[in-house]
Amino acid sequence: MLRDVTSDSAVAATNTTSEKQGGRVLLVEDEAPIREGLCELFQSQGFEVIAIGDGLAALEQAAGGGFDVVVLDIMLPGMDGLGVLSHVRSRGDHTPVLLLTAKGAEDDIVKGLEAGADDYVAKPFGIHELLARVKGLMRRAQLREREPKKIIAVGEALIDLDQLVVRSPHGEVKLTARECSILEFLAARAHRPVGRDELLVEVWGYRDGTIQTRTVDVHMQQLRAKLKAVPGGDEWIGTVRGRGYRFEGPLAG
C-alpha cells in the first residue's frame, strides 16, 4: 500500500509490524516505474520503504534519520544524488548509501565514492544483485555497531575507525566507512593475502563472494589514492598476483 509523504514525488510503502523484518530504506529514484517496482521488491523482502522522486525532498526526509540504508539515484530533479549525498555526509550522517549509476559512468562512480557512498550498482541491474548489495550494507552497519571502538596504529599514523579518518604528522585524511572497514579487515590479516571473494563476503556482507562486480577494485583504487597523502601510505596495500590484497604497512605491536 502506497501513501503520499511530502509531495507527488514522494511515496511511503507501509508494512504491518510483523512484516518489518528487513529494516527501513529511503529509496530516491525519479523514474516512477522503477521507483514503484523497487518499492514492491523491497516490500516483498520485509523492508519498510520511504520512496522519493526528488533530490530536495529526499534531503529533507533523510534529515529525520531512522533509516538503515539509502538507495540513491544520481540523476534527480531539484538536487542531483551527489549533492544529496554530500549534504547528508556533511551532517555527520553515516547511514549506508548505495548509489544507482548509469552503466559506464565511471566519473559518477568515482565522485560518489569520494563523497562518501558505500557502494553502487549500475543500471540496468538485476534484482538479486541489488538486494545482495542492500542487505550486505545493512549487515556490515549492524556489525560495526556491536564492535568495540578501535584505533589502528600504522607507523606514525593512526586509523581512527570511529571518526573515519587517518591522522598523521602531515594532517588528516578523511575516509568512508567502507574504506575504514577495508583497512581494518586487511590489517587484521596482514600475515596473508585476502581475495576479492573474501572481501565481498566479510567486508561488503554479501552471501556469495562469486558475484560479478568491480566494486572491490574501484574502492581499492580510491582508497590507495587517498593514502598517498599519508607518509608511506602508498605502500600500505599491496597486490599479490592471483591471490588478492595484503596489508603491508608497519603495524604497531
Q: Which fold has domain 151-247?
A: Arc Repressor Mutant, subunit A (1.10.10)
**Residue 118 CB neighbour total at 10 angstroms:** 27
Q: Where in the chain is the domain with CATH 3.40.50.2300?
A: 2-146
| Helices 81-90, 55-63: crossing angle, 10 deg rounding | 20
Q: What is the pTM of this model?
A: 0.66
Over its C-alpha atoms, the chain yields an Rg (Å, rounded) of 18
CATH class as words, domain 2-146 = alpha beta
Q: What is the pLDDT of residue 148?
A: 61
d(CA 168, CA 118): 24
Per-position DSSP letters for 30-50, written without gaps between them: S-HHHHHHHHHHHHHTTEEEE
- Give per-10-residue mean pLDDT for the chain (253 aa): 34 39 89 94 94 95 92 94 93 91 81 88 88 88 69 94 90 91 94 94 82 87 95 95 95 79
Domain with CATH 1.10.10.10 in the chain: 151-247
Cell 578501535, residue located: 150
Q: What is the number of other CB atoms lying within 10 angstroms of the CB of residue 69? A: 26
pLDDT at 144: 67
* Per-residue pLDDT, 165: 93
